[in-house]
Structure 1
């Protein structure tokens, strides 16, 4: 079937089989979004319960009879349907549906999604490792950091959220020594202005690539104020943003060390292309968030001039990929772009 002739016939949500992808633990994503056209399925999984429910009860109906290849038109339709609810959970649901439609488009065209986005996608994508549940005070932390860094990742990222100011600086320096290179830190929105300003002068610029999400809210006022008061602190943000207009304003004013938005949470592959362009325009490096790892790999392969190493969550990503056949695992700090149609993997259904 010619993809340009295909229209969406059906949208449904399936619960992933626990016997295949489980056993489930707290925090596991347990659903798949499925889009049908011309007797073929496009699928995106795994998806959390709340965005999946929003697709099943609301957004899926809005997508019916829409041309499969008109991704921009579908995005506009879905966001208009959400109206004032087009942030947070609403964007997440739109993003999951958008990725399923891109998978369907690729299957109908017999091309990987990256090849639909670019004439010359790169065959492999660099990744960096994040292990945010590791306690850097633990006795085994040094060996864990050394082993992870030794796998050839572009760099590594570690969480520091509960420690005191001087301990944060000490642990950051130790992590960089163990890794043998500078590390990224993730504050997970817990530091706030005062702690961030106290920490900033203590961090060794040779040891710390960036501090991600030091503030609870990602808005222009908060980060402009922080930039003025802690000059020189390399910050990263992006995953908490929902609108490209907010992203553009933040990027232009704050010029972060890295823009770390999520390819699904922002609204999907279609929307993510605009976010990549916004960052590229102001020369801010992009390191796509790892929650939506498979779409992020396709985007980074299609636009290597705009997107750098993608986050690989070393604890969570293997759990998420239990739901998939044809998983993507790093080798020497890179993942190979799937050459199969669509997103390139099959959901274990």
Structure 2
């Protein structure tokens, strides 16, 4: 028996949307989980709903815990607070499983299909997603605050940014120059002038480095069907690897399938979805070319590997998301190493070089654009001792009586 004796959440004011979960067992082990957005709501669910049921249970019964927490009376098949809480629990249980057996999570999942996986750099800056509201009004006149302020860079000189990434071994990058144009119409109209402005970074990248780097276009679920179609058709001239989350309703399988039929630009989706059912519906409708998932939002590794199996059964590649927190990144890497059709692990070099390092003891090792397999037991990271000494740290505990 591996009895769960304590449930602890940790948050810091500097990163108000991040929440970490530690589960303690009577074996003396501590498993680490994480989620993002609405941290206070997730904290409430964990202590007020999850803890009374979870404390005293066997941490080895990961599937049973997942099935219970992933089917609340309300909130399933969404990435709401209940599912984000369930995701954090599941990550911590898999971390415990790896530690218990002295093996990394990718081995606990059934073994790695590869020992490294290609990274793509999401061109965010140092403070991206700090408040949970991504800044979309960055323009060519904004000043960079460091060498990896890549969101400023792709708006100012995307060609030079591509050259910088290639020099570090990255062979793929993701940018979102259309976001600034969505608010004016609520995402339902993009003018020809706006379209040409948004396409300019792609032109600069191809002019600077040719076809040496893959480019992904992030659309952040901001667009209606007609505007998304116009953007995707415009991207066809630049050989974009995918257009990500093009529609404002990424669970609308019919609308996505219709869009996919009208453009040669591959469609990727979606980090915003949770549970297997929405992914099954999108794949059955032939609505997406690439499956993206976020393990802190979709239900954790237990649900994530089922989504990966759906992707495999439909011969679709998989690409785990990271633009939120370091524990989710480590978990996504383990799934990307294990899942047969995984092709990329998303990273943000700005956060890897700065504040991610302040939060955890270990981060993924990247060598010439390839993310290496972790070898330590469990997820392979823990919260930094310096984090626990922070004056803005808020800790809440629930313990078995």
In the other structure, the counterpart of 1:268 is 300
Instruction: Work out the CA distance in 2 between the residues paired with 1:207 and 1:148.
Output: 18
In structure 1, stretches of 5+ residues that fail to align are 17-23
In the other structure, the counterpart of 1:111 is 103
Instruction: Work out the CA distance in 2 between the residues paired with 1:122 and 1:242.
Output: 26
Instruction: Work out the CA distance in 1 between the residues paired with 2:371 and 2:15.
Output: 27
In the other structure, the counterpart of 1:20 is none
Measured after TM superposition, the shift of residue 85 of structure 1 is: 2.0
Counterpart among 4, 11, 29 of residue 7 in structure 2: 11
Matched, 1:100 2:92: yes
In the other structure, the counterpart of 1:35 is 23
Deviations 1:210-254 (A, max 9, x none): 1111111112132133234x2323211111112311111101213
In the other structure, the counterpart of 1:308 is 343
Instruction: Work out the CA distance in 1 between the residues paired with 2:154 and 2:11.
Output: 39
In the other structure, the counterpart of 1:331 is 367
* Aligned 8 A contact 2:256 2:287 in 1: no
Measured after TM superposition, the shift of residue 141 of structure 1 is: 3.8
Deviations 1:117-150 (A, max 9, x none): 1234533232111114514664444322321233
Give SS of 1:66's match.
Answer: coil
* Aligned 8 A contact 1:63 1:78 in 2: no
Q: Pick closer, same or farther for the CA change 1:26–1:63 going to 2, 3 Å.
A: closer
* Aligned 8 A contact 2:274 2:298 in 1: yes
* Aligned 8 A contact 1:224 1:253 in 2: yes
Measured after TM superposition, the shift of residue 97 of structure 1 is: 1.0
Counterpart among 138, 142, 159 of residue 142 in structure 1: 159
Once the two structures are superposed, the pairs formed by residues 1-349 of structure 1 within 5 Å of their partners are 5-15=1-11, 25=14, 29=18, 31-38=19-26, 39-45=28-34, 49-50=39-40, 51-80=42-71, 82-86=72-76, 87-88=78-79, 89-120=81-112, 122-132=114-124, 134-135=151-152, 138-160=155-177, 161-163=179-181, 164-179=194-209, 180-218=212-250, 219-228=252-261, 230-290=262-322, 291=324, 292-303=328-339, 305-317=340-352, 318-348=354-384, 349=388
Instruction: Work out the CA distance in 2 between the residues paired with 1:293 and 1:65.
Output: 29
* Aligned 8 A contact 2:260 2:266 in 1: no
When structure 1 is superposed on structure 2, of 335-344 and 131-140 the one drifting more is 131-140
* Aligned 8 A contact 1:6 1:68 in 2: yes
When structure 1 is superposed on structure 2, of 290-299 and 39-48 the one drifting more is 39-48
Give SS of 1:36's match.
Answer: strand
Q: Pick closer, same or farther for the CA change 1:52–1:330 going to 2, 3 Å.
A: farther
Q: Pick closer, same or farther for the CA change 1:99–1:132 going to 2, 3 Å.
A: same
* Aligned 8 A contact 1:169 1:203 in 2: yes
Instruction: Work out the CA distance in 2 between the residues paired with 1:178 and 1:191.
Output: 29
Deviations 1:165-193 (A, max 9, x none): 12223332223444533311001122322
Give SS of 2:293's match.
Answer: coil
TM-score, length basis structure 1? 0.87
Instruction: Work out the CA distance in 2 between the residues paired with 1:95 and 1:245.
Output: 16
Instruction: Work out the CA distance in 2 between the residues paired with 1:152 and 1:60.
Output: 44
Q: What's the Cα RMSD here? A: 2.3
Q: Pick closer, same or farther for the CA change 1:217–1:112 going to 2, 3 Å.
A: same
Length, aligned pairs only: 334
Give SS of 1:260's match.
Answer: strand
In the other structure, the counterpart of 1:19 is none
Give SS of 2:233's match.
Answer: helix
